[in-house]
Amino acid sequence: MPSPPNDQSVAPVSVPGVPDAIVVGAMSILIRFLFFLPDRLLTLLFGRPPEVAAGLQPDAWATARFTGLVEQDPYEQSPSEARQALETLSGAAAAPESPPGESEDHRLDLDGRSLRARLFRPETAPERGPLLVYFQGGGFVVGSLESHDPACRWLAARSGVRVLSVEYRRAPENPFPAAADDAFDAWQAVKSDPDRFGADPDRIGVGGDSAGGNLAAVLCQDLKRLERPQPAFQFLLYPVTVVGGRGSSYADFGSGYFLTAQSMSWYTDNYLAGQDPDQPRVAPLLGKDLSGLAPAYVVTALADPLRDEGEIYATRLHEAGVPVRLDRMPLIHGWFNATGSRSSRKALDVVSGVVAAHLESQPVGSTG
């Protein structure tokens, strides 16, 4: 159902003649500034969200209003331009300080290819402990170890769980099933050598945000299909579970809330390159039998085109007998990367505690 009229909305504007890099750079500076403003001032400046997004946190709504002003046709950009834009915006949205902990780069040598990976080790981590294998979001086209470095650092530090961020091959240079194959093979590489990462082999989970959440879900279904052991846990953060969405959230939040429905179409076109969108390795929501999959933690964002498909997937997991927890955060898509935002850090505290509980780790205190 289409969203009701919003008398506070401002129509997106194009910026003809201005290079995208300049627009993105200006946005990054202003977003960093917005995160320092108190909620009361943000509400005075940007008003309250429409009824369909009631409850959205002030800094999330301010970010949505601001980024909505410069929405552009994604089909007018190249993948390299989109990648650079995400790197810049992710850096701007990250907290200026880094949490305690260490990181080290690795290479996962797979069949005929090598993937970059980065291990984040919490300050409190024992010599051997739980590990979360993590796949970054970015529509299978953008996103990298660098764009998700701050978020993975915070997740590791607050949960007390090692996080291994794996950078899979991206489209359009490597269309489906390259990313799904990389996720599966990376998982097998980690499971075959847990000592390399200081991992307890019985406490290795898998997770990801957006496209990375899709890969984590697909991985669990691949393992079930091949009758191999499941991860200890699957963490699905606003995951892509079906092409084109389900429910009303695509209509309600398809424009003006950072991630747009048109951008999702651009990502899908690049990822699939004309292949069938209705196969479970693309759309895990369409898997026929979800029983026996790993216990799941599904997190969605209130004002996000992907909200409903993530929540429907959580419902299907529950109906199949899979232990599942579902949380809807009062935020927008991409909040995981916005560690500079007060509301995002509060959500990170919740998420970190649940990840720690599933992998039997000891979470650290609040991020504030």
The residue annotated as part of the active site, out of 147, 210, 249, 352, is: 210
Residue 113 in tokens: 């290819």
Residue 249 Cα to chain centre, angstroms:
17
By the 8 A CB rule, do 146 and 111 touch? no
Q: CA dist 288 to 177, 224, 230, 320, 344, Å? A: 19, 12, 17, 10, 34
| Tokens 């009229």 -> residue | 5
Catalytic residue status for 90: no
Instruction: Name the 3-class secondary structure at 284.
Output: helix
| Tokens 């697909």 -> residue | 218
The residue annotated as part of the active site, out of 149, 222, 304, 308, is: 304
Catalytic residue status for 327: no
By the 8 A CB rule, do 162 and 123 touch? no
What b-and-e string marks burial along 299-321, b requiring 16 or more CB atoms within 10 Å of the CB? bbbbbbbbbbbbbbbbebbbeee
By the 8 A CB rule, do 214 and 284 touch? yes
DSSP tag of 94 = S
Catalytic residue status for 98: no
The residue annotated as part of the active site, out of 149, 333, 349, 361, is: 333
Give which of 136, 107, 125, 128 is closest to 194, Cα–Cα: 128
Active site residues: 210, 304, 333
